[in-house]
Amino acid sequence: EVVIGTGDRQVKIGGELVLRRHEHRYFNPTAIAIVIDDEMPEDKLVKWVKETEEFNYNYIGIELKLDLVAIRSTSKDPTKFEEAVKKVAEATNMPLVLWSSDVSILERGLLAVKSRRPLLYAATKDNWKDMGELALKYNCPLAVYSPDDIKTLRSIVSALKAWGVEDLALDVGDEFGGGIADTIWSHLRYPLSGEPPFRE
């Protein structure tokens, strides 16, 4: 089980699988995020966040809502990313996902909301060491992204675990097909993050 955020609005993903009377389910329902990029005009950004807060839909007796806000660095500018993160944080207390493959950009945004324990997206084969250090330094959960390559995913997860990074969510891409079952392995029993929100 991985916890994103703090307080009453925290989101839990993953957790133990339950098998009871032939009912196969997870304790924690799938968390759904909306993606906002750091090049959005401020009025549009705030509008999207407010609409995310207010959204709910009743589906056969189940209330569906949006659970997280993901802020993506499309500008590749640390200052713009930091400003966007601050604006979102001021507009909502929903849990956050900070999204950039550049560790220096990610840390700039993280410094603005480090007490809120956002999910960091994402460690890859190219940056996993720096991302792992960032996750440990600020005690934040970390997503691991290895599109359509389960062998590399296993390797990254094993290395991060050896470093002491335990709160991991896995992204195997959106074209993995039946191979997604291979994530159920002794080193890979972590929650899966989905597509298309987590795609650069």
CATH code of the domain covering residue 120: 3.20.20.20
Q: Which long-range contacts (CB under 8 A, 24 or more apart) does 101-104 make?
A: 101/126, 101/127, 101/200, 102/73, 102/76, 103/127, 103/130, 103/131, 103/134, 104/78
Residue 193 falls inside a structural domain: no
In a domain, 189, yes or no: no
32 part of a folded domain: yes
| Residue 16 structural domain | 2-183
Average pLDDT, the chain: 86
- Mean pLDDT across the stretch 15-43? 76
97: helix, coil or strand?
A: strand
- Is residue 125 in some structural domain? yes
Residue 171 belongs to what H/E stretch?
A: strand 168-171
Asked whether the beta carbons of 198 and 171 are under 8 A apart, the reply is yes
Q: pTM for this one?
A: 0.85
At residue 193 the predicted structure's pLDDT band, cuts being 50, 70 and 90, is: low
**Position 197 in a domain:** no
Q: Which residues pair with 4 in a beta bridge?
A: 11
CB 102 within 8 A of CB 81: no
Ramachandran area for residue 88 (φ above 0: left; ψ -120 to 50: alpha; else beta): alpha
Size of the chain, expressed as the number of residues it contains: 200
85 within a domain of the structure (yes/no)? yes
Asked if residue 195 belongs to a domain, the reply is: no
For 55-114, write each residue's pLDDT tens digit: 988 888 888 889 999 999 999 999 999 999 999 999 999 999 999 999 999 999 999 999
Q: How many domains is the chain partitioned into structurally?
A: 1
pLDDT given at position 174: 66
pLDDT digits (tens, 9 = 90+) for 130-169: 999 999 999 999 999 998 788 899 999 999 999 999 999 9
Residue 189 has pLDDT above 60, yes or no: no
Percent of the chain with pLDDT over 70: 80
Is 95 within the bounds of a domain? yes
